[in-house]
Amino acid sequence: MTFSEKYGPAWLLHKKLCKNALRSFSYAEPRGSGATCLLEEQVCAEAAEMVGVIREQAAKNCEMTGIDPAISLVTSVANVVCALCFGRRYDHNDKEFLTIVNINNEVLKLFAAGTLADFFPVFRYFPNPSLRKMVQYIHRMNGFMEQKIEEHINTFDKNCIRDITDALIALCEDREENRDTSLLTNSQVIRTVIDIFGAGFDTVIAGLQWSLLYLIKFPNIQDKIQQEIDEHIGSARLPQFSDKPNMPFTEAFIYEVFRHSSYVPFTIPHCTTRDTILNGYFIPKDTCVFINQYQVNHDVHLWGNPEEFQPHRFLGLSGQLNKELTEKVLIFGLGKRHCLGDGFARLEMFVFLTTLLHALRIEKVPGQELDLSADFSLTMKPHPYRISVSDRF
């Protein structure tokens, strides 16, 4: 989440507000399942729905041509964010929903492409088709968000908090009674919803796309994950959050996906708050800085053979996860301004991945060349690929 204001009391409060809203609502009581919290209920339901959609797609397509898993992954993960932010999910074929998801993807692509104005601010005053298109997309996205927020304001009941948007509206209404929260404007509070929505699914989608690609490229790894699923979960129930600590190889696989693909090669830009010296280099105040996560994840001194995909590198002699090594993997940033949703993202990726592999065997389409290079964006996506699918049970 970006919190565009400079570091200071307002930024600290904005972060605290967002963190509390995520924690209090996501871990609220579930509404009707055996899940431990609302977040788990939403994630598990969407993961199961995704498996059903992929089955339907596979039934309509020839095994030789396979299916493109990207659309199902995008709509399922985006639905988790919609349920948490707006209290509702969308049908996978809903036109409004698909339009907003596509607009979000286009905005991310345009952000990644960059413009001269990023480096020479004076160019913002010159004709710029790319910048104009990005502004148009952002206005359309904001229009969708504002409509949903307006609907929430009109039906708001402080005794019935339905979702994160309601939780933030409640904070707005209480603001006059609290000197601290008076630092935030209405637009900043509402922007929090937009931040959560925009940041809430792209990294998870990219992580799942890379995960499926590695699984069909290295089928022996899929065998080991499914063996772990069978041993610790079985066929009688679906994966849950609580299964994650008991499945070290699956966790090691996810960490190796993060490390090897490094699909968020750089953090979003930050700014130094004062003159500082780092490793002998002088960095003036207000300098734009990034964390080069790709370099850390491919440092030969840390990993020995960084170009090889080896989940076992994260397992100790006893087969348990090496926490000291996993902490060296960078994907969600570092320090005070690391991604607030990293814990949610890891749990979500685990449940989506294990729910899919619990039910299905995925393989590469015959004759398909699998390419581990990426399409450039803020989050690096793999080149399009197709999978063939078969039921395990």
Residue 1 covered by a domain: no
Q: What is the pLDDT of residue 25?
A: 66
Residue 241 covered by a domain: yes
Query: pTM score, two decimals?
Result: 0.89
Number of H helices, E strands in the chain: 14, 8
Residue 310 covered by a domain: yes
| Domain count of the fold of the chain | 1
Which band of pLDDT confidence, cut at 50, 70 and 90, is reported for residue 186?
Answer: low
Residue 197 has pLDDT above 70, yes or no: yes
Contact 388, 382 (CB under 8 A): no
Residue 223 covered by a domain: yes
Residue 2 covered by a domain: no
* CATH number of the domain enclosing 279: 1.10.630.10
**What residues contact residue 44 under an 8 Å CB cut-off, 6+ apart?**
33, 35, 238, 239, 240, 351, 355
pLDDT in tens, 295-348: 999 999 999 999 999 999 999 999 999 999 999 999 988 877 777 788 889 999
Specify the pairing of strand 360-364 against strand 374-375: unpaired
Residue 88 covered by a domain: yes
Residue 180 has pLDDT above 70, yes or no: no
Residue 4 covered by a domain: no
Residue 165 has φ and ψ, to the nearest 5°, of -60, -45
Comparing 182 with 134, the larger pLDDT belongs to 134
Highest mean pLDDT among 4-18, 186-200, 379-393 belongs to 379-393
Q: What is the pLDDT of residue 184?
A: 58
Tell me the average pLDDT of the chain: 85
Alpha-carbon distance of 30 to 12, in angstroms, equals 30
* Domain carrying residue 103: 9-391
What residue type is assigned to position 29 of the chain? Answer: E
Structure tokens at 19: 């963190």
Q: What is the pLDDT of residue 254?
A: 98
Looking up tokens 């307006």, which residue turns up?
150
Residue 3 covered by a domain: no
Which band of pLDDT confidence, cut at 50, 70 and 90, is reported for residue 119?
Answer: low
